[in-house]
Amino acid sequence: MVEPIQVLAIAILLDLLLGDPEFHLHPVRIIGYSIQYVERLLKPVPINETLKGIFLATLIPCTFFFVSHLLIRFAWTHGALAGTITSGIILYFTLGLRSLGEEAMVVANALDQGDLGLARIRLARIVGRETKGLDATEISRAAIETVGENFVDAVLAPLFYWAIGGAALAVFYRAVNTLDAMVGYKDKKYKRLGWASARLDDLLNFIPSRISPVFIAIATLFLGKWQPNIIKKALIDGKGHESPNSGISEAAFSHALGVRLGGPTHYREGIKNRAFLNPEGAPPTAKDIRRAVKLLHISALMFALVLGIISHLKTFSIN
């Protein structure tokens, strides 16, 4: 039996030490290449685009789930140490805690230096919206929103699914999340092809997004002011967001930081009028980006600590 607390420790430590290194054989990049390849193969197939999308949303996550599962099983045949290390490394590749924080901090540093051009360029690395022409407040807002959203996508949800079904299930989730990021758009090209991926991502994020405010609220203890009412406010504000899930964690961040998020958002296809989150909050600044990164780190470590305590009190099998 793989010791879950050891797997968790390996994954968290690797992420904090190494971050998310950029190389072509990174598992998440391989998932991305696979999505592009299968999408090209499906393009000439004379069937409904929605059916193609269902096939894509089934094939990619299931393939990477089984490959990960087989790798862990193979490692386990070489002993508990090999199995534990392999599981930890695979789980590590599904996380993005350090890289998310670092990218947001680069944006904050550029704003502090008054370099809006650099801030827009670096912001474009972590958001899907159009960054040209954004002012300092809009850049700060976008950076905080992506930190709030990706607290779930890149940290809480992968760990949540690892706790349920091991590192292979965390990979399954990460594959679905990558599919949503690549084809889950509502534009003309992907509206039908990406429908299944977007809906599956919504389903898998339903529970993680709704427990995220709990850990964000706990983290406020370390920011100088305990704010338990964040949980209720986030669930209320999140209902007005276009996403059934990401609005909840974004709203929790907005209330924890006392800043206003949401509002008109620029995309390639035009401007979307998103609901305001914490509309009475202050306009966000570079300083608030730094506070958001601190909130991200503390919230993530609180969730990991809870999982570690649970695994210590009750041993559960993770393969």
Per-residue pLDDT at 175 exceeds 60: yes
pLDDT in tens, 201-228: 999 999 999 999 999 999 999 888 888 8
CB under 8 Å to 279, separation ≥6 — which residues? 260, 262
pLDDT at 316: 47
Q: Is residue 234 part of a domain?
A: yes
- Domain assignment present for 122: yes
In the predicted model, what is the mean pLDDT of residues 19-29? Answer: 85
Domain annotation covers residue 26: yes
**Domain span holding position 65:** 4-313
Can you spell out the DSSP letters for the chain?
Answer: ---HHHHHHHHHHHHHHH-----TT-HHHHHHHHHHHHHHHHTTS-S-HHHHHHHHHHHHHHHHHHHHHHHHHHHHTT-HHHHHHHHHHHHHTT--HHHHHHHHHHHHHHHHTT-HHHHHHHHTTT-SS--TT--HHHHHHHHHHHHHHHHIIIIIHHHHHHHHH-HHHHHHHHHHHHHHHHH---STTTTTTTHHHHHHHHHHHHHHHHHHHHHHHHHGGGGTS--TTHHHHHHHHHTTSSSTTHHHHHHHHHHHHTB-EEEEEEETTEEEEEEEESTTSBPP-HHHHHHHHHHHHHHHHHHHHHHHHHHHHS-----
User: What's the pLDDT tens digit per position in 34-45?
Assistant: 999 999 999 999
Amino acid type, 134: L
pLDDT band for position 30 (cuts 50, 70, 90): very high
85 or 315, higher pLDDT: 85
The answer to whether 16 and 98 are in contact (CB under 8 A) is yes
Spell 280-317 as b/e; 16+ CB within 10 A means b: ebeebbbebbbbbbebbbbbbbbbbebbbeebeeeeee
Query: Is 318 a domain residue?
Result: no
Task: Please determine, for residue 1, whether its predicted confidence score (pLDDT) is greater than 70.
Answer: no
pLDDT band, residue 319 (cuts 50/70/90): very low
Mean pLDDT of 232-258: 92
Radius of gyration, CA atoms only, the chain? 20
* Mean predicted lDDT score pLDDT of the chain: 92
- Evaluate if residue 317 carries a pLDDT over 70: no
Asked if residue 319 is part of any domain, the answer here is no
Whether residue 302 lies inside any domain: the answer is yes
Contact 294, 223 (CB under 8 A): yes
In a domain, 64, yes or no: yes
Where is pLDDT greater, at 3 or 250? Answer: 250
According to the model, what pLDDT value does residue 225 have?
82
Domain assignment present for residue 134? The answer is yes
Q: With 90 as the cut, is the pLDDT of residue 86 above it?
A: yes
Given this model, what pLDDT does residue 46 score?
87
pLDDT value of position 289: 98
Mean pLDDT within 4-32: 91
Q: Which amino acid is at 159?
A: L
Q: Residue 318 has what pLDDT? A: 44
> How many structural domains is the chain composed of?
1
pLDDT, residue 311, reads 80
Burial class (CB in 10 A: 0-12, 13-18, 19+), 131: buried
